[in-house]
Every structure is written in structure tokens, then in C-alpha cells.
Amino acid sequence: MAPDLQIQNYIGGVFQPAVSGAFLDNIDPSTGQVYSRLPDSDERDVQLAVEAAARAFPAWSRTGPDARFRILMRIADLIGQNMEAFARAESVDSGKPLSVSMSVDIPRAQANFRFFATATLQFASESHHMAGEAANFTLRQPLGVVGCISPWNLPLYLFTWKIAPALAAGNCVAGKPSELTPMTAYMLSKVCQEAGLPPGVLNIVHGLGHKAGQAIVEHPQVKAVSFTGGTETGRKIAAVAAPMFKKLSLELGGKNPNLIFADCNFEAMMEGAIRSSFSNNGQICLCGSRIYVERPLYEKFRDEFVRRTQQLITGPPLSPESALGALVSRQHLEKVEQYLSLARAEGGVILCGGERADVGGDYRGGYFLRPAVIEGLPLDCRANQEEIFGPVVTIAPFDSEEEALALANGTAYGLSATLWTQDVSRANRIAEQLQAGIVWVNCWMVRDLRTPFGGVKNSGVGREGGNEALRFFTEPKNVCIKYG
């Protein structure tokens, strides 16, 4: 399967341009050049998508679990068979190293479909017995047409993380991937067609967030919106959807702490800290962007962390040597650079990185930035409070557990936290008090798809993953039957 230069919407099983006929440029971030185009869709395309989904819903919602399982597994198989094509397309579209697309993004997209395919066979609902009087059972029924909107950092991974449970639960979808990274969602639509997913069950509308995305959220027939993206966008979506009483799942930004105690396994921690700081160019909502180290270990940590950061190769996404690729867009690169300037103005010392990387050759116009480590910033400065979402981390020492917790919990976000210690009692104590939806102890990004996934505070509302996702995409109805 080869990426197409002309991406199309996928509506009612048919590939089509935007109703307006307008296109947007799709830029390869490693060169800064336009390499394909995508439909610049608006509310008319969304209307077509919602109509197609509504037409498909009665039959799809009555399709039994076995049939749904077979189709979703076939989609998973086809993603697996086209793994390399998907991975290359993802890297070209987003700038991430091919090693990341091959080991994280596309295997996970495949796993999402496989996981929720099997979940259709196992999802069960509760019953409540009232002794001698009545029995209650809960029907879990699909909602109808649902909206799935995803960001650019893990494009197919996060798009399928929403679509797969929505379809598994019997809904029909109007989905929009990020306009910056539309290619693999387009390839997915071809796979769905080949897998025999009935027309209209999944509709993919490409285009801008404030046009196509907003039209999905505003559409009265869209019963629920599952959104992953920035906190400000989440706020706007909530403001539109809440008065319409839509179900909402909002997975938003993070400013995750990484707490390192002096008794940790140094080598395992160091390897983990490098990954949690700079994987995917630091453009993962779960990256640990604020690193706090217990004082006795601080200098040793700092020197070794900076040394290893300097060794990371920033290079062409498709090169096997590249540990970091290009940032997703010029606008995003400039935003990260502004935060670096701000950090300097706030008194931070940049220990390494933060300058553009000259990758040379065809890549001169690409958006490459060397990974940066900043020291000397207080908790309350903007660089430590706002999400930078790039290859930038701040480091600081702490003296006690209480101080570590205060630092960790001292932002408006609460997505994930990482903790490195060999003291199990301390790990338990701290994990309990961290304000985060996910706490990793002595590891990072270890994911079991059955676990609840999501954040607290400004990092979102609701949980994805496992039965949480299937519950989100179904409406419970209690049926009470009187005995006798």
C-alpha cells in the first residue's frame, strides 16, 4: 500500500473530495515541503458523514459480536500486513523517527483493533437481584453516531484508540484526524473498505479543527465526542457539547513530573528518563517534562543525563540512526523555541540543546531541534507550568518526600507521573498522593490496554481503555422485572 498524494474523505464507503472542492497542503516536516494535499472539509462534509453514519447505524448496531469481531480483526490483520507502509507514511507525515512508528505507533494501532475486536466477545453488563422481589439487568446499548477527534502526535495510534471501541460497541463514527497528519487515517479508510466494514460505519472527514472538527462537535445527531488534544481545545469543545448534553471524553495536555529518588536503580532510571523525556521528540502527552531528583543524586544525575542527551542523534525520520526526528510543523517548532527563550528570561540555564539541528541535504528546510535540558527554574514559572510538548525538560533537586510531592502536584495538569525508587513503601505512599490519572513506578509507558487511561485536573475528563471505553460508547439502561 503506497501513500497517495491526494488524500480524500471517506464517507458512506466512498472516497471523495470536500464539497467545496478546496484542499489544504500537507507538509513533510523533515523538508518543509508540501508533499500531498487533503480535503479542506466544512460542515457540509460533516453533514454527509453524519447522514451516512446514521443510515448505517441500525444494521451495524444489530450486527452480532461475532461479525463485529471478525471485521475488526480483519482490519487489525491488514494494518499488520501493511506495517511498514503505514510506519513510513506516519514518519513522513509527522517527522517522527521510523524506529518509533515501527515499534510504537503502528503496532499499537493494530493492537487497538485487535483488543477491541476481542472485547466485543467479552463485554458483559451487570445485574442486580432484589431478593424475593425483582431482578434488574443493565442493557448496554450503542449511542448512535459518535465523533472521534484526534491530535497529530500519535496519529493512527490515538485515532484508532477511539474508533476501535466506538465500532466494537456498535456505534457509527464521524472521525477527524489532525490536519497536520492525515495520511495514515486515509490509509486506514482503505483498509476498512478492504476488510468489509459496511459503508457508513466509519466516516473520515479531513480538514481543520475549527471547521470540520467543530462541525462534528456541533452536529445535533452526534451523541458523544471522544477528543484527544490540547486543554484549550478541550475547553472549547466542552463549551459547545455540554449544553447539548453530549457525552464527552476529553484526554488533554500534561506537564508530567518524573520523581527520582537516590535509592533508585540508576541505570534503569537513566535509560527510562531519557525515553520519557525525548521519545517522539518529547511530543507525547505522557512524557515526563519536569524531572525532580533527590539532592544526594542530583549532580551525578545531571551530568550523566546531559551527557546522554547530547549523544542523541537528531536526524532524518527515515534514517535508522535518528533518535529524534523533526517537530511536526514550523508553527510548533517556533512555539517550542519561544518557550526556550522564555525559560532563559525566567532565569533558566540551558545545559544542552535547544538550537536548531542542521541535518543538511534535502532536510535543510526541516523542523529539527536538538533536545534541551534546563536547570534553575522555579516551580511557578511559565516554563514549568505550561505544556511545551517538545524535546525540552527542566531538572531540579528536592530534599524530602513532602517537597517532591508538592513539586509534582504543583501544576494545573494531572495526566501521568513517574517515580523511581526501590523502596516499595515509599512508592505506595507517593503513588497514592500524586494527582495524576496514571502513575508509573520504575518504568514508563508500560501499557496494558485493559487499564483506565486518562487524567485529572486540566488533563481531562473521563477514562479510555478496556471496559471504560466500552462503557463510554454505550448507554446503560436498567430493566427491572418483578418476580411472580
Q: Which residues make up the interface to ligand NDP (CB under 6 A)?
A: 149-153, 158, 176, 178-180, 208-210, 213-214, 217, 228-230, 233, 236-237, 251-254, 285, 387, 389, 415, 455, 459-460
Residues in the chain: 484
We find the least distance from the C-beta atom of residue 482 to ligand NDP, in angstroms, to be 44
Residues with Cβ within 8 Å of 376's Cβ and at least 6 positions away in sequence, in order, are 347, 348, 349, 396
Cβ atoms within 10 Å, residue 153: 25
- The H or E element spanning position 93 is helix 83-94
We find the least distance from the C-beta atom of residue 265 to ligand NDP, in angstroms, to be 28
- The H or E element spanning position 143 is none
Distance of alpha carbon 76 from alpha carbon 108, whole angstroms: 10
Q: Tell me, what amino acid is at 480?
A: C
Nearest CB to ligand NDP, comparing residues 190 and 236: 236
Instruction: Calculate Rg over the CA atoms of the chain.
Output: 23
We find the least distance from the C-beta atom of residue 215 to ligand NDP, in angstroms, to be 8
State the Cα angle at 16 between 163 and 143, rounded to 5°: 30
Nearest CB to ligand NDP, comparing residues 228 and 418: 228
Task: Indicate which residue of 285, 287, 294, 464 is catalytic.
Answer: 285
Nearest CB to ligand NDP, comparing residues 315 and 455: 455
Nearest CB to ligand NDP, comparing residues 12 and 462: 462
We find the least distance from the C-beta atom of residue 229 to ligand NDP, in angstroms, to be 3
Exposure string (b/e) for 375-385, b if CB count within 10 Å is 16 or more? bebeeebebbb
Cell of 89: 507514511
Nearest CB to ligand NDP, comparing residues 270 and 438: 438
| Contact assessment for residue 343 and residue 324, using Cβ atoms and an 8 Å cutoff | no
Distance of alpha carbon 243 from alpha carbon 296, whole angstroms: 53
Nearest CB to ligand NDP, comparing residues 80 and 107: 107
Partners of 461 in the β-ladder: 250
Instruction: Identify whether 126 is a catalytic site residue.
Output: no
| Contact assessment for residue 225 and residue 147, using Cβ atoms and an 8 Å cutoff | yes
Instruction: Identify whether 285 is a catalytic site residue.
Output: yes
Distance of alpha carbon 415 from alpha carbon 453, whole angstroms: 9
We find the least distance from the C-beta atom of residue 93 to ligand NDP, in angstroms, to be 12
**What's phi and psi for 316, nearest 5 deg?**
-55, 135
What distances in angstroms separate CA 364 from CA 72, 266, 298, 354, 391, one per listed residue? 42, 38, 37, 17, 19
- The H or E element spanning position 298 is helix 295-311
Distance of alpha carbon 161 from alpha carbon 333, whole angstroms: 27
Residue nearest to ligand NDP (CB): 209
Task: Indicate which residue of 90, 179, 251, 468 is catalytic.
Answer: 251
We find the least distance from the C-beta atom of residue 455 to ligand NDP, in angstroms, to be 6
Nearest CB to ligand NDP, comparing residues 82 and 276: 276
Nearest CB to ligand NDP, comparing residues 294 and 387: 387
We find the least distance from the C-beta atom of residue 152 to ligand NDP, in angstroms, to be 5
Cell of 395: 531538572
We find the least distance from the C-beta atom of residue 129 to ligand NDP, in angstroms, to be 38
What distances in angstroms separate CA 184 from CA 1, 28, 399, 465, one per listed residue? 11, 14, 47, 22
Which residues have a catalytic role annotated?
251, 285
